[in-house]
Structure 1
Amino acid sequence: MLKIIERTKIWFAISLSIIILGFGFMVYRTSTTGAPLNFGMDFAGGNDIQINIGKAFSKDDVQKIVNKYVSDGTVTKIDGNKGVEIKSGQMTDAQQTQVFNDVKKKYNLKTKAPTSTERISGSVGKELEKKAMYALIVANIFMLLYIGWRFEFKFGAAALISLLHDVLITLAFYSVFNRPVNSPFIAGMLTIIGYSINDTIVVFDRIRENQRKSRRMTNAELANTSITQTMTRSIYTVLTVVIAVTSVHIFVPSIREFTEPLLVGIISGCYSSIFIASPLWVIFKNRSDKKKALRKVAVSK
């Protein structure tokens, strides 16, 4: 039987160290850039240009053209690799025209204007940021209510904290490595929450089963036994998902903004289900049992 609960302080210290590191980078970035994270165009606003090149082209060549005018431009192949989408939060309308003219000259395009251009304002980005936050809060509340009803409140509280852990770990990763935060990131975060809670419920369901079978076990023994019984399943499931998502991340560059937070969150979710949620349940359960014992003593007197 694995001794997971006995090393609770170690697991908590590892997570806390990563979160504090990420928070430190957020404070530093706020002092230098005015924003805790590298908010992408979806949140900060900017230009989105799509150009139909109509033939095979080098993404690196287009990126070099964009880099002449702005430092934050991202280039993505679209339309079966015969079109290009250019996004930038710094690009002005004049620079947008210059980029298009350079691409037009480079590939001898006959078109007189880009396929489409879109300007996203900062106010739209702030509204999107607010709605994204609401979505995360609502998702967590409903999951807490479901687990509280399906199991008991102590399970729900432990699961909710482990979900918050996954969100903070992912944010820490994005802060430390200065990765752009945008709409696909929010979609990835919601997917992470759903995946992580599923893995946590598997462990909690086994704890509940073992509670009925082995009433003489301590809470720590119950958790250790249940984690040991579900560990192999958790590892195999995570490996399968990570391999699939990594393959998509490598071979489908257009959705990397979605798959990147998924990879971080899935690994964090597996860790939190075993090393965060279960130890938290033991802590909450021990406190509850202690209070019940004190009440019995008080009543007997």
Structure 2
Amino acid sequence: MFHIIHKRKLWYIISAAIIIPGLISLFIQGLNLGIDFTGGNITEVKFKKDVTTAQVREVVKEQGLTDKYIQKSTGGVFLIRTEVLTEEENEKMLKALDEELGGMTLLRNNKVGPTIGAELTRQALLALAVASVLMVLYITWRFEFKQGIAAIAAILHDVLVTVGLLSIMQVEINSAFVAAILTIIGYSINDTIVIFDRIRENLALKKGMKIADVINISLWQTMARSINTTGTVLFVLAALYFFGGTTINNFVLALIIGVTSGAYSSIFTASPLWYDMLDKKRRQKAVKPTA
């Protein structure tokens, strides 16, 4: 059983090796924003024959267009979201859908601006800021201030890992992405608090033991719980990703990345950072002022 705290620099290096390429990708190519942020065309059609989502997507791609979102509802009705189309591109797509899929009826065809965009971004950042302050206050009251800072740092780690990897993979970002990020934050902080609670219990039971050893014991005592919980969640998410359809794939992928990162940061980021803050304070106290 290796000592997690003594190897904390290794965990920092692993995190940096994932986060830094993601930040570079964000700076160079940014995020692949969906229609909710950039605007586009919304087309609703009803086919005379029974067709599949894959068939509709193939016809759209044959016209040189990128489907942002295709959803099938009852009665052969499809909702198709694409990038902003010219009149010529729009007519070409509708003609192809009609001819290649056995005829259709156009129910709706609108060009929309960003439905969420800057407003949602501001609201999401505000929600994140408020949640962070409240979590720091709660953890300070329940444990101590430095643990609150370490927990927020772990959450920031998870957000950067998730956003960075999605930028590298150029996965489309839509309104569901905000929900995924908030879910990841909730999952990560829950696991971190469980670990901090065990550390607090062991600090009372193992007085006289070095703080690094107490933290290490606490991490190993909660390791099975963290792995089992994360594994159970990932099994469900994997099933949703492979069998839930393309509509929710990007949302589920963000959760898979975030939940995995959350389990990692709760064990290998939050507690080591808290230890480093304590250790720095002890070293500062140990330095005697010169005469």
TM-score by length of 1: 0.88
**How many residues of Structure 1 are paired with residues of Structure 2 in the alignment?**
289
Residue in 2 aligned with 1:287?
280
Q: Distance in 1 between matches of 2:75 and 2:180?
A: 24
Q: Deviations over 1:156-183 (max 9, x none)?
A: 0000000000000001111111111111
Q: Distance in 1 between matches of 2:134 and 2:280?
A: 25
Residue in 1 aligned with 2:23?
23
Q: Is the 2:68–2:81 contact (alpha carbons within 8 Å) kept by the matching residues of 1?
A: yes
C-alpha root-mean-square deviation of aligned residues, in Å?
2.3
Residue in 1 aligned with 2:44?
50
Q: Is the 2:39–2:112 contact (alpha carbons within 8 Å) kept by the matching residues of 1?
A: yes
Residue segments in structure 2 that go unaligned for 5+ positions in a row: none
Residue in 1 aligned with 2:216?
224
Residue segments in structure 1 that go unaligned for 5+ positions in a row: 30-35
Return closer, same or farther for 1:25/1:122 CA change in 2, 3 Å cut-off: same
- Tell me, yes or no, if structure 1 residue 97 matches structure 2 residue 91: yes
Q: Is the 1:45–1:121 contact (alpha carbons within 8 Å) kept by the matching residues of 2?
A: yes
Pairwise CA distance, 1:279: 0.2
Residue in 2 aligned with 1:248?
240
Percent pairwise identity: 38
Alignment of 1:151-300 (within 5 A): 151-253=143-245, 254-291=247-284
Q: Deviations over 1:171-226 (max 9, x none)?
A: 11111111111111111000000000001111111001001111212121111000
Q: Is the 1:47–1:88 contact (alpha carbons within 8 Å) kept by the matching residues of 2?
A: yes
Pairwise CA distance, 1:97: 3.4
Q: Is the 1:70–1:88 contact (alpha carbons within 8 Å) kept by the matching residues of 2?
A: no
- Tell me, yes or no, if structure 1 residue 8 matches structure 2 residue 15: no
Question: Paired residue for 2:31, among 37, 41, 56?
Answer: 37
Q: Is the 1:196–1:273 contact (alpha carbons within 8 Å) kept by the matching residues of 2?
A: yes
Q: Which amino acid in the other structure matches residue 26 of structure 1?
A: L
Pairwise CA distance, 1:232: 0.5
Q: Deviations over 1:103-140 (max 9, x none)?
A: 222333352x23x3443314852222222222222222
Q: Is the 1:2–1:225 contact (alpha carbons within 8 Å) kept by the matching residues of 2?
A: no
Return closer, same or farther for 1:280/1:110 CA change in 2, 3 Å cut-off: closer
TM-score by length of 2: 0.90
- Tell me, yes or no, if structure 1 residue 78 matches structure 2 residue 110: no
Question: Paired residue for 2:57, among 60, 63, 66?
Answer: 63
Return closer, same or farther for 1:120/1:257 CA change in 2, 3 Å cut-off: farther
| Greater Cα shift, 265-274 or 36-45 | 36-45
